[in-house]
Amino acid sequence: MNKVDEVRPVEEDVIVFNSTGKLHKDKNLLTEKRTKVFELITSLRNSLKPEPKSKTYYYRKSVKLDLEQADKDSNSMEELDKDIKRRVSQFNTFVMNRLKRGTLGQYYPFSEIEDLDKYKFKDIKFLRNKVIEEYKTITFTSLSGEELTITEEEYELHSHHMKLSSKGKHLFRVLNELGYWIEDMREEERIPVMWKTIPYIQFEDNKTFVEFSFSTLFSDMETKTNIIINQLITELEKTEGIEVVNLYYMKSYAKFGVLCDNEQLTEVLDSFARSYKRSSYLKAKTYAVEIDATVDIGNEDKETVEFYKVLEGEYFKPVYDMLEPTDETLFGYNVYL
């Protein structure tokens, strides 16, 4: 039991879903659970591609960046064969057009999906990946009438280069928003620690990064979130070795990042629990907090991630039947797997 759990009795309208992989034997079932919870939380964000409420970064930390690797990654697509890029682009257009016409399922029936065309534009990337995964080699006709072929290996190579390019460009966009000129940057600079910058930060040993995602879509959610964050900052800034390294508001959720020593993770989670409980007088009809704790961040041999979802309100009740109750509590609430 978390020591904070002794402060207050367990509440029934709030649960904690512990989706840390090592605790789940059936990985396929875990994926189903994560997907369902993700869909519910995403619907509270009002968009699959959420936009920032502002581009103000309120907290930053002095870090060393591997700018050489970031530059190499951002230009990764230039290394890819032009013909592969052309054929993948044409294939993507082909899938989109068939979805518009409602005929993709006629061209590529799936063993796992009865009604392929019901997905329409919601899961374009998912559908492209499914076509490649199931058929391995695809021959199709482009808009110009050219017969083209794309293999699974070529498609995956293209995806790999796209991910590298996107990762590098994310960092440079943040640096640009912060007003840095790349050629004038020093060995260490103050930047927010977040998913866009983490891949290129050179972390010290024995560090844990904790990222909280708070709901803010409606006014009651935003009020609750601001109270929790304010109290959390007050608690954390009292403790040596714990740093607030990011606070960033999207239009429907807020990201809050904390960096600490590995041994201080429990202290950070306890501080969150106290702050969350103090906000309990604000009863949002629906509310969610996602917590990702990356232990030994930056150390490829030792890095592990713990995942928690704090789910509040009737809105999340439909997912309870999928989850397995445990005898444990965390933050004062029942833990489900």
155: which DSSP letter? H
Residues contacting 336, CB < 8 A, separation 6+ = 15, 16, 17, 18, 320, 323, 324, 325, 326
Q: For residue 133, give its domain range.
A: 76-160
Q: Is 110 exposed, middle or buried (0-12, 13-18, 19+ CB in 10 A)?
A: middle
Residue 222 lies in a domain: yes
Q: Which residues pair with 325 in a beta bridge?
A: 336
Residue 54 lies in a domain: yes
Q: Is the dihedral of CA 186, 192, 198, 202 positive or negative?
A: positive
Q: pLDDT tens digits for the chain (337 residues)?
A: 444 444 343 456 888 888 887 877 777 878 888 888 888 888 777 654 556 677 788 899 999 999 999 999 999 999 999 999 999 898 888 888 777 777 666 666 655 555 554 554 456 777 788 788 878 888 887 888 888 888 999 989 999 999 999 999 999 999 999 999 988 888 889 999 999 999 999 999 999 999 999 988 888 889 999 999 999 999 999 999 999 999 999 888 999 999 999 999 999 999 999 999 998 888 778 899 999 999 999 998 899 999 999 998 888 888 888 888 888 888 888 888 8
Residue 220 lies in a domain: yes
Question: Domain count of the chain?
Answer: 2
**Same domain? 244 vs 325:** yes
Q: In angstroms, what CA-CA distances link 22 with 305, 307, 337?
A: 10, 10, 11
**Same domain? 208 vs 88:** no
Q: What pLDDT score does 323 carry? A: 86
**Same domain? 53 vs 89:** no
**Same domain? 93 vs 226:** no
DSSP characters for 190-258?
EE--STTTGGGB-PPSSEEEEEEEEE-SSHHHHHHHHHHHHHHHHHHTTSTT-EEEEEEEBSSEEEEEE
> Which residue among 139, 160, 181 closes a domain?
160
- 128 HSE (CA, 13 A, CB side): 20
**Same domain? 210 vs 308:** yes
**Same domain? 234 vs 278:** yes
- How far apart (Å, rounded) are the C-alpha atoms in residues 269 and 289? 12
**Same domain? 325 vs 235:** yes
Residue 221 lies in a domain: yes
Q: What pLDDT score does 10 carry? A: 41
Name the CA radius of gyration of the chain, rounded. Answer: 22
**Same domain? 35 vs 136:** no
Q: What pLDDT score does 47 carry? A: 53
**Same domain? 58 vs 86:** no
